[in-house]
Amino acid sequence: MAEIELRHIEKSYGETAIVKGVSLSIRDGEFLTLVGPSGCGKSTLLRIIAGLEAQDSGEVVVAGRCVNDKRPKERDVAMVFQSYALYPHLSVFDNLALPLRTRRLSFAQRLPFVGRALPGRGGIEMMIRAEIEQAAAMLDIAHLLHRKPGQLSGGQRQRVALGRAMVRQPAVFLMDEPLSNLDAKLRVQMRAEITALHRRLGVTFVYVTHDQAEAMTMSDRVAVMTSGELLQIAKPEQLYRDPEDLRVAEMIGSPKINVVSCAHWTSLGASLPRGVHGNTAYLAFRPEAVGIAAPGDGRLSGVVASVENLGSDIFLNVALGEGHGTVVVRTHPDGSRSEPGRPVGLQIDPACLLQFDSAGMRLRHAEQIEAAA
Does residue number 306 form part of the binding site for another protein (CB under 8 A)?
no
Does residue number 113 form part of the binding site for another protein (CB under 8 A)?
no
The residue among 154 and 291 lying less far from another protein, judged by its C-beta, is: 154
Q: Name the segment binding another protein (CB under 8 A); options: 54-62, 75-83, 235-243, 364-372.
A: 75-83
Does residue number 14 form part of the binding site for another protein (CB under 8 A)?
no
Whole-angstrom Cα distance, residue 248 to residue 234? 11
Does residue number 323 form part of the binding site for another protein (CB under 8 A)?
no
Q: Name the segment binding another protein (CB under 8 A); options: 86-94, 201-209, 229-237, 268-276.
A: 86-94
**CB under 8 Å to 58, separation ≥6 — which residues?**
6, 7, 8, 9, 10, 21, 22, 23
The residue among 181 and 261 lying less far from another protein, judged by its C-beta, is: 181
Is the peptide bond between 99 and the residue preceding it cis, with omega within 30 degrees of 0?
no
Where b means 16+ CB within 10 Å and e means fewer, 155-185 reads: bbbbbbbbbbbbbbebbbbbbbbbbebbeee
**CB under 8 Å to 308, separation ≥6 — which residues?**
314, 315, 316, 317
Q: Site map for another protein, 150-179, x if CB under 8 A?
A: xx------------x---------------
Q: Taking the complex as a whole, how short is the minimal distance between the CB of residue 341 and another protein, in angstroms?
A: 45
Interface with another protein (CB under 8 A), residue total: 28
Contact of 1 with 171, CB cutoff 8 Å: yes
Does residue number 81 form part of the binding site for another protein (CB under 8 A)?
yes
Among 148, 241, 324, 364, binds another protein (CB under 8 A): 148
Does residue number 201 form part of the binding site for another protein (CB under 8 A)?
no
Q: Name the segment binding another protein (CB under 8 A); options: 99-107, 133-141, 272-280, 338-346.
A: 99-107
Among 17, 52, 268, 307, binds another protein (CB under 8 A): 52
Q: Taking the complex as a whole, how short is the minimal distance between the CB of residue 160 and another protein, in angstroms?
A: 12
- Residue 101 backbone dihedrals phi, psi, to 5 degrees: -65, -45
24: left (phi over 0), alpha (psi -120 to 50) or beta: beta
Does residue number 305 form part of the binding site for another protein (CB under 8 A)?
no
Contact of 203 with 62, CB cutoff 8 Å: no
Among 23, 25, 68, 83, binds another protein (CB under 8 A): 83
Contact of 277 with 288, CB cutoff 8 Å: no
For residue 201, what is the enclosing H or E element?
A: helix 184-201
Does residue number 293 form part of the binding site for another protein (CB under 8 A)?
no
The residue among 36 and 149 lying less far from another protein, judged by its C-beta, is: 149
**CB under 8 Å to 122, separation ≥6 — which residues?**
none
Whole-angstrom Cα distance, residue 139 to residue 184? 20
Whole-angstrom Cα distance, residue 257 to residue 248? 10
For residue 155, what is the enclosing H or E element?
A: helix 154-167
Q: Name the segment binding another protein (CB under 8 A); options: 54-62, 95-103, 281-289, 359-367.
A: 95-103
Q: Taking the complex as a whole, how short is the minimal distance between the CB of residue 44 and another protein, in angstroms?
A: 13
First-to-final CA distance of the chain: 32
Q: Name the segment binding another protein (CB under 8 A); options: 49-57, 336-344, 345-353, 365-373.
A: 49-57
Among 18, 78, 128, 179, binds another protein (CB under 8 A): 78
Q: Taking the complex as a whole, how short is the minimal distance between the CB of residue 85 and another protein, in angstroms?
A: 4
Does residue number 71 form part of the binding site for another protein (CB under 8 A)?
yes
Q: Which residues bind another protein (CB under 8 A)?
A: 47, 50-52, 71-73, 77-79, 81-83, 85-90, 98-99, 102-103, 148-151, 164
